[in-house]
Structure 1
């Protein structure tokens, strides 16, 4: 016969406190005297009590969950961001529900699952959100914060790094380093990050009287970036520098150049990425890159989302955080 679960009332009776005190003890950020909390925890341990999060959510009308929508996990940059976001929200008593969405159409279908989950808010980690879907979220009063992506709709809060000036720095650095045949390896065709980095890069080249020598699309994917590298270097005259729109692709470029094409980095080809993932600093890569402030971006997104949840007001704030150039051996230092 299945044993009936211990109730909060039983814990209250054993601890000699009110049932509301038991509830406060297991509610994040709730105020409760240390002595009272100690008595409740001791009684809960003795009885084997576990709070029912579902029941509490029905009373408080809060699930204490945040829906996170992501497009990929193979890129270490997003794995880092997800880990830090999980820790930050846990500090505030929230847990993350992960939803994967590879494109805009899939995001639309995933949204119905998110709405059924009764999540208190939505954090979009580098997943594309259409303007129409953004408007629907606002109309429903669902707080949404996009991080590392932007959308042409003012009603949704967005946090990103300064992709334009990061790309601008790369263009200046490569030209000033003496590179002449500079190629750009783009991310997803419709991604705001890739287009902003590309525009800054092209503007920097133009100001130096140069132009992009060749372009290819890597879709922010390792295998696709490898194939794009093979295509770029299939000609008799090939690039003397490659700017990949993120480190994940830049690593694919370096591996392909060294292992398949017999070219040396940076002696034959300079390579620059964007993100500064941990592998970028490995001795075998020493990748010159542009560092995104992961923790600061997550902190801003967390504050925006929790602020909207607390106030019940959906707002459309935009935060753009500065990036930091990281010069390593994969691209010679500028003069």
Structure 2
């Protein structure tokens, strides 16, 4: 068996110190381009690979970020998580992904496992955490940022879209279109996104003196959203909503398919549909969905900036509550407003 090449051998071959070799393979360390070129050429020639785990044990920094994901059905998350992983890697960090269910107990078990990996920070996407596990992370000195979720836990940073404002925009748009029987398909009741989007939507209706006509729960899942659509629309015409706001696009697609292909209703002539997220399929001709956009690029930027601040300056970095406003993107799935209110095609 071939002996493992050491950094000392690389230093000898490159004609530099062993500490120079260490700096070359330490993200963010200062080293001249000339020295780096010599070290990397020697490392390639000898077949040397740095021992990241050993370096982490010495430095106390793993340069690993734990990423907890509980919900990938929605197109928004794979796209956003790709951007998040790329942004963290550009800062010299590796991403370790953990899958969890929506149940609090399961997520707490996963979080305990993540801490065993000595991660430098944690990003939780589409997942909630208990105050107990938040305290454990804080005691361990591991910062946590919630992505697309918010919780009232001291010391925890969250980055979301402005879900209340988004829900209100959906209500105002449907009201401007002259709708009178407006329904809502809710997401998972334990999610802050669901809570805030519905609160904003109801507030928008209430501002015009209108109450919600009907409500069903889709739980952020396809089958449940289909069942919700049947419950709302497979009824006598007088009891049928003439518009529906759906808590995310993933469910809106399921609702639209039931409305059109099972019940034979027309969109938007018989029923207007508005979603939330603006995932790529929303722009497809098959759906042409009017929806509130989540600005994933800005959300990722805020998440990474906040996490780096907590890692690099833990004594001065304050918890943040970031809510990013997003436009209503008007397409063809909902009746256009009359002359009283005009919305541009780009959603502004």
Interval of TM-score (by shorter of Structure 1 and Structure 2): over 0.9
Aligned equivalents of 1:115 and 1:94: distance in 2?
A: 16
Aligned equivalents of 1:181 and 1:130: distance in 2?
A: 38
Q: Which of 323, 330, 337 is residue 320 of structure 1 equivalent to?
A: 323
Please list, as runs of the form range in 1=range in 2, the aligned pairs for 1:162-311 lying within 5 A after superposition: 162-236=162-236, 237-311=239-313
TM-score, normalised via structure 2 length: 0.93
TM-score, normalised via structure 1 length: 0.97
Q: Does the 8 Å contact 1:131/1:152 carry over to 2?
A: no
Structure 1 unpaired stretches of 5+: none
Q: Does the 8 Å contact 2:69/2:98 carry over to 1?
A: yes
Q: 4+ residue stretches of structure 1 with deviation over 6 A?
A: none
Aligned equivalents of 1:114 and 1:249: distance in 2?
A: 31
Report the alpha carbon displacement of residue 275 of structure 1 after superposing the two structures with TM.
Answer: 0.6
Aligned equivalents of 1:331 and 1:220: distance in 2?
A: 21
Report the alpha carbon displacement of residue 260 of structure 1 after superposing the two structures with TM.
Answer: 1.3
Report the alpha carbon displacement of residue 267 of structure 1 after superposing the two structures with TM.
Answer: 1.1
Q: Does the 8 Å contact 1:138/1:156 carry over to 2?
A: no
Aligned equivalents of 1:114 and 1:282: distance in 2?
A: 38
Please list, as runs of the form range in 1=range in 2, the aligned pairs for 1:1-335 lying within 5 A after superposition: 2-102=1-101, 103-236=103-236, 237-313=239-315, 315-335=318-338
Secondary structure at the aligned position of 2:277 is classed as: coil
Q: How many residues align?
A: 334
Q: Deviation string for 1:133-185 (max 9, x for gaps)? A: 22332233220011111111231011111100100010111011011111101
Structure 2 unpaired stretches of 5+: 339-348
Report the alpha carbon displacement of residue 320 of structure 1 after superposing the two structures with TM.
Answer: 1.4
Q: Does the 8 Å contact 2:162/2:326 carry over to 1?
A: yes
Report the alpha carbon displacement of residue 10 of structure 1 after superposing the two structures with TM.
Answer: 0.6
Aligned equivalents of 1:132 and 1:212: distance in 2?
A: 37
Secondary structure at the aligned position of 1:273 is classed as: strand
Aligned-CA RMSD value: 1.2
Report the alpha carbon displacement of residue 9 of structure 1 after superposing the two structures with TM.
Answer: 0.7
Report the alpha carbon displacement of residue 234 of structure 1 after superposing the two structures with TM.
Answer: 2.3
